Amino acid sequence: MRLWLAGIKEIVLVTHASKNAVENHFDTSYELESLLEQRVKRQLLAEVQSICPPGVTIMNVRQAQPLGLGHSILCARPVVGDNPFIVVLPDIIIDDATADPLRYNLAAMVARFNETGRSQVLAKRMKGDLSEYSVIQTKEPLDNEGKVSRIVEFIEKPDQPQTLDSDLMAVGRYVLFSRHLGGTGKEPNRAPGAVSSSPMPLQNWRKKQSVDRDANDG
């Protein structure tokens, strides 16, 4: 729904053979809808039919092995092509109760992307241990409210986060250009079996200086 409110009409789910339930959740179940209609379960029928908003197309691609976020993004490259795209991590949930999804977070990132022509990464300030997160270092704010700044570096699960001059962590929302989809998706510094939470397709961002940090609202 947040993607739809941000104006996104084509969604690609990167899944695995063990995630059939995820794919089926967004598919149309004629048998279930027919049963609910016969039993006059109008509220339940409306909920089932609203899972996929009108005008939205949902596609599925498979990632055979859990080789990290960068690899999963590259699995969708044949569908994405040369178009800009959004990355949303489903295991990071943002509470929109205090922030209008039509104006803030992902919607604001898309608007800023269209306005500036720079890729966007959503971040929030995090107190405590940052060793399990993707830490972002930035330059001075680009706006008066201090919500937007140019990203200088990503540090994936830093060994000594207390030595970093940053308390910003990426929160799983990215608006990117297809030109960031460089390389093979292999992550040479990642131990076998480990899963990276930062997007390897951003490997070209530092050369282009084209990625901004947006503050998480809510």
Name the token pair of 81: 């092509």
Residue 100 is predicted with a pLDDT of 67
Residue 140 is predicted with a pLDDT of 74
| Gap between the Cα atoms of 201 and 26, Å rounded | 27
Q: What is the CATH number of the domain that holds 65?
A: 3.90.550.10
Q: Is the pTM of the predicted complex or chain greater than 0.75?
A: yes
Residue 47 is predicted with a pLDDT of 92
Q: Closest by alpha carbon to 215, among 124, 154, 135?
A: 124
Q: Tell me the residue type at 57.
A: T
Between CA 125 and CA 132, with CA 128 as vertex, the angle to 5 degrees is: 85
- Write out residues in the chain with pLDDT < 50, as ranges: 184-197, 206-209
Q: What is the dihedral of CA 8, 27, 29, 36, to 10 degrees?
A: -40
Residue 36 is predicted with a pLDDT of 93
Domain count, the chain: 1
Residue 146 is predicted with a pLDDT of 67
Q: Which residues pair with 151 in a beta bridge?
A: 138
Residue 96 is predicted with a pLDDT of 66
Host domain of residue 47 = 2-215
Q: Closest by alpha carbon to 152, among 208, 112, 70, 69?
A: 208
Report in angstroms the alpha-carbon separations of 115 from 67, 109, 120, 124, 125.
34, 10, 11, 22, 25
Name the token pair of 115: 């306005």
Residues in the chain: 218
